[in-house]
């Protein structure tokens, strides 16, 4: 197995484990609210989606690839889908507004993170190529 293939397998395996953590922690977190002036404000769903975004960014920085980020989004969405499709008595994610934001927000956050990460990776690669081309074209002059 080549070094690149081993790195890809390790990145995907890490993404699956991270996605399982995000799906379970986010499902437990998404129903949290705070009462402010008599109104329940659901802060947990925002925290759960922020957790997903931060784990996806960490995976991209660690692996230097968008593949683990995409894998984490797909696995998180699948696990949350299974948790939300249980029977009415066993359902962890009801079909109300907060539950829908959590379930469908996973897809939105994943798409946003894929675009942002791909732009970061492309700009970093472009900077490295430009610096290498400048160094090759203009050798340092002795002083």
Indicate the burial class of 32 (C-beta count within 10 angstroms; 0-12, 13-18, 19 or more).
middle
Of 57, 60, 28, 23, nearest to 44 by C-alpha is 28
Q: What's residue 56's pLDDT?
A: 95
Is residue 74 domain-resident? yes
Number of domains in the chain: 1
Q: Would 142 be classed as within a structural domain?
A: no
What pLDDT is attached to residue 140? 61
Return the pLDDT at 94: 76
pLDDT mean for each 10 residues of the chain (143 residues): 80 94 93 90 94 95 90 95 79 80 94 92 70 65 62
* Residue 131 covered by a domain: yes
Residue 143 lies in a domain: no
Residue 27 contacts residue 44 (beta carbons within 8 Å):
no
Contacts with 1 (C-beta within 8 Å, 6 or more apart), sequence order: 9
Query: How many helices (H) and strands (E) would you count in the chain?
Result: 4, 2
The answer to whether residue 130 sits within a structural domain is yes
pTM of the entire structure? 0.82
Contact 32, 99 (CB under 8 A): no
* Domain interval for residue 19: 3-137
41 in any annotated domain: yes
Query: Phi/psi at 96 (nearest 5 deg)?
Result: -90, -170
């Amino acid at each position: 197995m080549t070094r690149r293939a081993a790195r890809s397998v390790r990145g995907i395996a890490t993404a699956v484990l991270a996605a399982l953590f995000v799906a379970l922690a986010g499902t437990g977190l998404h129903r949290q609210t705070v009462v402010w002036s008599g109104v329940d404000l659901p802060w947990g769903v925002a925290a759960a989606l922020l957790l997903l975004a931060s784990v996806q960014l960490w995976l991209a920085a660690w692996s230097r690839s968008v593949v683990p980020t995409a894998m984490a989004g797909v696995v998180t969405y699948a696990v949350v889908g299974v948790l939300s499709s249980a029977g009415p008595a066993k359902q962890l994610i009801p079909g109300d507004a907060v539950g829908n934001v959590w379930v469908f927000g996973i897809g939105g956050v994943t798409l946003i993170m894929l675009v942002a990460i791909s732009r970061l990776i492309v700009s970093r690669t472009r900077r490295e190529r430009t610096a290498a081309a400048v160094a090759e074209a203009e050798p340092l002059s002795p002083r």
